[in-house]
Amino acid sequence: MTSPITSRRRPVRAATAFLVTTAAVTTLLAASPAATASATGTASPTAPAEATAPAAAAATAPTVSETFDGPGLPAGWTAAEGTWRVENGRLIGTSTSSSQLSRITFGTPLTDFRIEARLRFESAVDAARWTAFGLDLAPSGVVPWSIATLRNNATASNGLEFAQRTTANAWNVTNTAPSPVQVGTGKEVRVAVEVRGTRGVWYVDGREALRTTQVQRTPQGVQALLVNGSTVSFDDLTVTPLARESFVRKPGETLRIWAHRGASSAVPENTAASDEVARRAGAEWIENDVQPSKDGVPVILHDTTVDRTTDGSGAVRNLTAAQLAGLDAGSWFAPAFVGQRIPTLASQLEGLKTRGGNLLLEVKGSHTKAQVERIVAEIRAKGMSSRVFVQSFEPQHLVWMRELAPELPLGLLRSTLDADPVAIAKDLGLSAYNPSETAFRTKPGIVAGLHAAGVAVNVWTVDNATSWKFLEEADVDGIITNRPAELAGWNAAFKQRPAATVLSPAPGAKLDRAQTVTIAVDAADGQEITFDGKPVANGQTIALAYETAGRHVIKVGGVESSFEVIATRTGLAHLILTSEAPAHAVATMTSMLGSGRYDALATYAATPATRGIAADQRRLIIAEAKALRDR
């Protein structure tokens, strides 16, 4: 994309600087397998296609759904190591020391899925002990593995992790973060991980807590549970295949980071080094531009000529792939980048495949259908269809893409808004509508209609926190930015905000049956509010006359607040006066209440004299009288 670098009620978040030293750059370049990839690598336009996804997918049923109500381990569950048993409706895994790792495998190989459960640490050797979801493990237990771990001390800096057990049987911890809520021995918590290819997202009590692009995958990997140095119990475990991905941001999620030409503010754009820095900066998606060389090889370059970003000159499409491969694409940016090359699409895909990351691929300039078909062939030959998102300014390119590769999500780039963005999105089968910031500011209200149609909005190219704040509050889904590290830091600050606050009823309040409460929360729009597990609306009133005595729980955004319904003389008087008992019975019961004869009141309420009282109300009157008696 060519654009000038531009620079709901939420606080401004601080940006985090990202510095690349010469030594660090040298290390990155040496580590990147795609940095010196040959420009002549090609893929046959007739390469076999990967299995394609339908244009839309319905919600899918779980492949695993266990409540552990049977007498033993569920069928197909294999306790590969340690002690595993079912007891009192829970699966219990035990590891007796920090050096022991208990493991049980189950499920089937899945590319995109959500695994979730309720779990509780029953005991632990120390606060650093952990349990984990196995995201990709061979049923036999041979390495490599990919897991998502949760420590007993979940709010430690490494309370949550994504980690790999490598083919050398060593640990590689790729991502860490503190949990948004403490766990600890004896506290049950709802946890989940969503996996899409090599991407993973950790959720604790419904709150997103950590992301990765480095879930190591194998063809036969299944799911598992692991326990280290502790005893952990599990219940309500499900594994659910995920339908085709929506790029619309969920309530509470951070802005999606699309790294424009890689980390192009810190490293020469559209190079292997730029991809590497963007990946390490936390960008899930790396945007690159593709166009054909003179001999038809798709290469990664933005401009129509090589003059600005290499030591050569001339139009890209007048130079062969071999000629392009000989140009220096890094020295123009800084001496540390001498020797960077113009990647082919094939080499760029290979780098992402082996090192992690996903590609937002812009089909740049004019292309024929045959040239678009060549791009599709390259993507499929590398097995990367599940990790590529295609965008273009040209609707015709997207029409061909949809015809040739219906599995690829599509985005339409715009410098000015269409008269009806929803209509064109539906016509082209878009997953995203991607306007410039300038265009978006002319009509930010387009978001609601596009979201209603299931279409995301990603704005380009935005590099400052003031604009990020405006766009986040406008409910856009992602930012295409030259500064992915800074946006990652801004997002991290965003996640530290309180998820929600329960304003009413006051936490710990003790209320009686004569009272009515109003559920009031301060939370982001769209966050679910529950009262004793059932959804309620913000501002909904609830009469307490017939609620059960004792503790009641309100939850929103991972925050829990509770109050109690207790027996009082006022509450019991309310029950009596609002009953359908005959007038003389009401008078008798209020007289007994006034004189403190609770036993007599409970006995009288059960007699035929109080006919007309509904059975549930009668039980409450008797229970309240006995509770007052026993005080």
Active site residues: 260, 302
Single-letter code of the amino acid located at 165 = R
Among residues 607, 597, 589, 605, the alpha carbon closest in space to that of 629 is found at 597
Rg (CA), the chain: 30
Segment holding 65, helix H or strand E: strand 64-66
Three-state SS across 200-262? Answer: EEEEECCEEEEEECCCCCCCCCEEEEEEECEEEEEEEEEEEECCCCCCCCCCCCCCEEEEECC
Write out the H or E segment, with its range, that includes residue 342: none
Spatial distance between the Cα atoms of 404 and 621, rounded to a whole number of angstroms: 71
- Joined together, the tokens standing for residue 74 give 């569920």
Contact 1, 303 (CB under 8 A): no
What the block records as the tokens of 166 is 């490598």
- Which residues touch 608 (CB under 8 Å, ≥6 apart)? none
In angstroms, the CA 353 to CA 214 distance is 10
User: Could you tell me if 574 and 513 are in contact, meaning their C-beta atoms sit under 8 angstroms apart?
Assistant: yes
Please, how many CA atoms are within 13 Å of residue 477, restricted to the half-sphere of its CB?
21
Q: Which residues contact 60 (CB under 8 A, 6 or more apart)?
A: 240, 241, 242, 243
How many residues in the chain?
A: 631
- H helices of 429-551, in order, are 437-441, 446-452, 465-473, 484-495
Phi and psi at residue 257, to the nearest 5°:
-100, 120
Q: What is the C-alpha to C-alpha distance for residues 417 and 124, in angstroms, rounded to an integer?
A: 57
- Our CA angle for 389, 221, 278, nearest 5°, is 35
> Which residues fall within 8 angstroms of residue 20, CB to CB, at 6 or more apart?
266, 267, 277
Distances (CA, A) of 370 to 386, 404, 425, 465: 22, 10, 24, 41
Question: Helices in 382-516 by DSSP H: which ranges?
Answer: 395-404, 421-428, 437-441, 446-452, 465-473, 484-495
C-alpha span between 458 and 620 (Å, rounded): 56
Q: How is residue 266 annotated by DSSP?
A: T
Helix 272-281 vs helix 22-31: crossing angle, to nearest 10: 110
